[in-house]
């Protein structure tokens, strides 16, 4: 069942178990950035939505240059 667990961990609706404060803060910030803020931005008369706190999730993309070359795609095109 998603939500807080008796052992202090949190299970997300996607089924991921978050066991430490950093993971929980990152999850909450991600939900705020991708779910809550976009919904609030549709509110008429709202000047803006600021995200404060938590840890912003980062994604690292490492292209396989050899594979791209084999398909005739340059890094610029990517």
- Give tens-digit pLDDT for 20-73: 999 999 999 999 999 999 999 989 999 999 988 889 888 899 999 999 999 999
- Decide: 18 and 10 in contact? Cβ < 8 Å: yes
Rounded to an integer, what distance in angstroms lies between the CA atom of residue 8 and that of residue 62?
A: 35
Kindly tell me if the per-residue pLDDT of 14 is higher than 90.
yes
Rounded to an integer, what distance in angstroms lies between the CA atom of residue 26 and that of residue 32?
A: 10
The pLDDT score that the predictor gives to residue 43 is 93
DSSP helix/strand/coil, 7: coil
Average pLDDT, integer, range 13-23: 94
């Amino acid at each position: 069942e998603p939500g807080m667990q008796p052992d202090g961990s949190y299970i997300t609706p996607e089924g991921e178990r978050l066991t430490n404060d950093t993971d929980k803060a990152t999850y909450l910030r991600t939900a705020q950035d991708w779910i809550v803020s976009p919904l609030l931005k549709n509110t008429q008369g709202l000047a803006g939505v600021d995200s404060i706190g938590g840890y912003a999730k980062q994604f690292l993309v490492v292209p396989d240059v050899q594979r791209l070359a084999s398909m005739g795609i340059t890094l610029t095109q990517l």
